[in-house]
């Protein structure tokens, strides 16, 4: 049994996601189980819907029927989660919980990492990875949310934009 928090996925009855999350949060508070549970999420996104010619923003669940729980897996934490009303069990073979990898949690939008970029728009940078390695250019735009940077490099006498990952670029000294 590991002592670090990992993300687990719980299956719920359709439409009970928020109820399961709030009941679990209440149980953690009442039983003082903060040492076992770190975070409980129902990932949502804002979507624009057009009805009767009017556009309105609506919050929609990204994974209907699922709740994401960051917890330490023990017999006690398993028992608490399994006995929440509306919860049908953990996602995994034979309902045995399988934790998400860090990459899976990040791709699913459950866990976000803060990225510190040592350069800004207009800075001169060197490309340190990929087919354009060792080329030098200027940063045109940075999109931290999508982990990308657009760099203008000079190739064959022309200014050419290159879309790269944030880690493929370093500032010039």
Domain 124-171 has CATH 2.30.30.30: yes
Beta strands in 13-130 (DSSP E): 37-41, 44-51, 54-61, 66-71, 87-90, 124-127
Query: For each of the chain's 173 residues, which pLDDT tens digit applies?
Result: 446 899 999 999 999 999 999 999 999 999 999 999 999 999 888 888 888 888 888 888 989 999 999 999 999 999 999 999 999 999 999 878 999 998 888 888 787 666 678 889 999 999 998 899 999 999 999 988 778 899 999 988 899 999 998 889 999 87
Burial of 110 (0-12, 13-18, 19+ CB in 10 A): buried
Question: Of the CATH numbers 1.10.8.60, 3.30.70.940, 3.40.710.10, 3.20.20.80, which one belongs to the domain with range 6-107?
Answer: 3.30.70.940
| Same fold: 6-107 with 124-171 | no
d(CA 25, CA 4): 19
Pairing of strands 148-155, 136-143: antiparallel
Residue 163 CA, distance from chain mean position: 22
Name the DSSP class of 167.
G
pTM over 0.75: no
Q: Where are the domains of the chain?
A: 6-107, 124-171
């Amino acid at each position: 049994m590991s002592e670090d928090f990992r993300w687990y996925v719980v299956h719920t009855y359709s439409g009970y996601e928020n109820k399961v999350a709030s009941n679990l949060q209440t149980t953690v508070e009442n039983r003082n189980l903060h040492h076992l549970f770190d975070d409980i999420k129902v990932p949502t996104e804002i979507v624009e819907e057009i009805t009767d010619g009017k556009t309105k923003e609506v919050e929609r669940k990204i994974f209907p029927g699922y709740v994401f729980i960051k917890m330490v897996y023990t017999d006690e934490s398993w028992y608490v989660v399994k006995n929440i009303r509306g919860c049908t069990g953990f996602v995994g073979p034979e309902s045995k919980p399988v934790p998400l990898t860090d990459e899976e949690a990040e791709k699913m939008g459950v866990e976000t990492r803060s990225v510190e970029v040592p350069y800004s728009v207009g800075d001169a940078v060197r490309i340190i990875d990929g087919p354009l390695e060792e080329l030098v250019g200027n940063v045109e735009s940075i999109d931290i949310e999508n982990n990308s940077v657009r760099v203008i490099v000079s190739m064959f006498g022309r200014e050419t934009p290159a879309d790269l990952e944030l880690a493929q670029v370093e500032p010039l000294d």
